[in-house]
Amino acid sequence: MTVGAVPYGRKSVHTPAVQEIDILWITAGLSCDGDSVAITAATQPSLEDLALGAIPGLPKVRIHNPVLAYEVGDEFLAPFHKAAEGKLGPFVLVVEGSIPNEKIKEDGYWAAVGTDPKTGQPIKTTEWIDKLAPHALAIIAIGTCATYGGIPAMAGNPTGAMGLPDYLGWGWKSKAGIPIVCVPGCPVQPDNFMETVLYLLYQAAGLSPMIPLDAALRPSWLFGQTIHEQCDRGGYYEQGDFATEFGSRKCIVKLGCWGPVVNCNVARRGWVNGVGGCPNVGGLCIGCTMPGFPDKFMPFMEEPPGAKMSSAAVLLYGRTVRALRNFTRDSLDKEPSWRAPGALTSGYPPATFGK
């Protein structure tokens, strides 16, 4: 997809201002392409907003993603080859999918895209990353596979799969001094990714400071709170009111929700256009935005071991508080005595002045 936008640029202490930028998106890691699909549902901003230049102040953006592109084969890969040779202008590299690292698993290769015209051999995903990373203005790992390895990197996997920070190094920085930016999720929450792209484009335009990241390289304003801190069901948890089966509106911690210890914002942000967000709609949080996912969260659909103690404690306190609140609520649910049926008055005491 190659569409024009408003050219703009100003000097920044962090990155040079740029007026045109390419987004080179590799989906050749080990994954289901679910992140590319998820992004089509973004609204804040949408892909179309970005590509068509609807957002003021941004550089002109050209997005190259195989799921979205009109071009195929060598025509699609042309800007990637140009970038690998250092001949493309400024670009942001987006990596989707877990990186099968042949250096730790030498029994062949597991992922590739395109063919090397000189050798006639497939170009491995790792070769693309090795060649593109040194020239990128910034790199975004999209989804949990690309950020921390995800499901393809589970214990015992035969592929040597790993996330981008494990492959390039957690201290890696782009030529503009920007660390790898990780936007995890299985799949990624679409607006989290688009908002991150938007931030980096404003940074490239010289309009925002260095992107703030947490220790797991996630944008800190998106991943600074737990799901539990924003969940619609938090009131039930606090009152020790736990669901024993799905379909209930109560807190689902005893069914296997890891929300109290998982950094994610979908309970507040929703999923598509503000609607959804796992526990809000009855889905267990299984910790998909966390570097320990999935191994540390298994088995799924069982009460997390750490939750047993806290939910037992909350149960004691919560039941008492709930009973007391029910008294108060019953009282508040009735009109004041001076407005009770059969005894209607204004509630204003009769005037006693002069009597």
Residue 229 is which amino acid? E
State the number of CA atoms in the 13 A half-sphere of 350 facing the CB. 4
Going by C-alpha positions, the residue among 18, 103, 109 that lies closest to residue 5 is 18
* Shortest distance, position 328 Cβ to ligand SF4, whole Å: 22
Least separation in angstroms between residue 294's CB and ligand SF4 is 10
Please report whether residue 222 would count as binding ligand SF4 according to CB under 6 A.
Answer: no
* Minimum CB distance to ligand SF4, residue 311 (Å): 8
* Interacting positions 236-255 with ligand SF4 (CB under 6 A): 237, 251-253
* CA 93 – CA 78 distance, rounded (Å): 15
Number of residues that bind ligand SF4 (CB under 6 A): 23
Given a contact cutoff of 8 angstroms between Cβ atoms, the answer to whether 304 and 298 are in contact is no
Contact segment (CB under 6 A) with ligand SF4 among 33-41, 62-70, 284-292, 313-321 equals 284-292
**Out of 88, 227, 294, 318, which residue is the one contacting ligand SF4 (CB under 6 A)?**
227
Q: List the end-to-end C-alpha distance of the chain, in Å, as a whole number.
A: 87
Minimum distance of ligand SF4 from residue 255's CB (angstroms): 9
- Work out how close the CB of 268 gets to ligand SF4 at its nearest, in angstroms, rounded to a whole number: 11
Report d(CA 146, CA 351) in Å as an integer. 76
CB closer to ligand SF4, 58 vs 145: 145
Residue 174 engages ligand SF4 in binding (rule: CB under 6 A): no
Q: Could you tell me which of 153, 104, 101, 89 has the C-alpha nearest to residue 130?
A: 101
Q: Which of 24, 93, 198, 288 binds ligand SF4 (CB under 6 A)?
A: 288
By CB under 6 A, tell whether 286 contacts ligand SF4: yes
Comparison of 24 and 222: residue with beta carbon closer to ligand SF4: 222
Tokens of 240: 């020790």
- Which of 18, 139, 197, 264 is in the footprint of ligand SF4 by CB under 6 A? 264
> Tokens representing 49?
């907003």
Q: How far is the CB of 234 from ligand SF4 (least distance, A)?
A: 5
Q: How many other C-beta atoms are found inside a 10 Å radius of the C-beta of residue 104?
A: 10
Q: Which is nearer to ligand SF4, 46 or 226 (CB)?
A: 226
Among 219, 260, 294, 318, binds ligand SF4 (CB under 6 A): 260
- Candidate segments 3-11, 34-42, 119-127, 281-289, binder of ligand SF4 by CB under 6 A: 281-289
Please choose, from the candidates 246, 255, 328, the residue with its C-alpha nearest in 3D space to the C-alpha of residue 281. Answer: 246
Alpha helix (H) residue ranges in the chain:
34-39, 47-51, 73-84, 125-132, 143-148, 164-168, 190-204, 220-223, 234-238, 266-269, 305-332
For position 183 contacting ligand SF4 by CB under 6 A, the verdict is no
Q: What is the dihedral of CA 125, 126, 132, 137, to 10 degrees?
A: 100
Asked whether position 216 contacts ligand SF4 by CB under 6 A, the answer is no
Can residue 262 be called a binding residue for ligand SF4 (CB under 6 A)? yes
- Which CB atom, from 79 or from 287, has the smaller least distance to ligand SF4? 287
Q: Is 182 in the site for ligand SF4 (CB under 6 A)?
A: no
List Cβ neighbours of 201 (8 Å cut-off, separation of 6 or more).
Answer: 21, 50, 58, 59, 61, 92
Q: Which residues in this chain contact ligand SF4 in the complex, by CB under 6 A?
A: 185, 227-228, 231, 233-234, 237, 251-253, 257, 259-260, 262, 264, 266, 278-279, 285-289
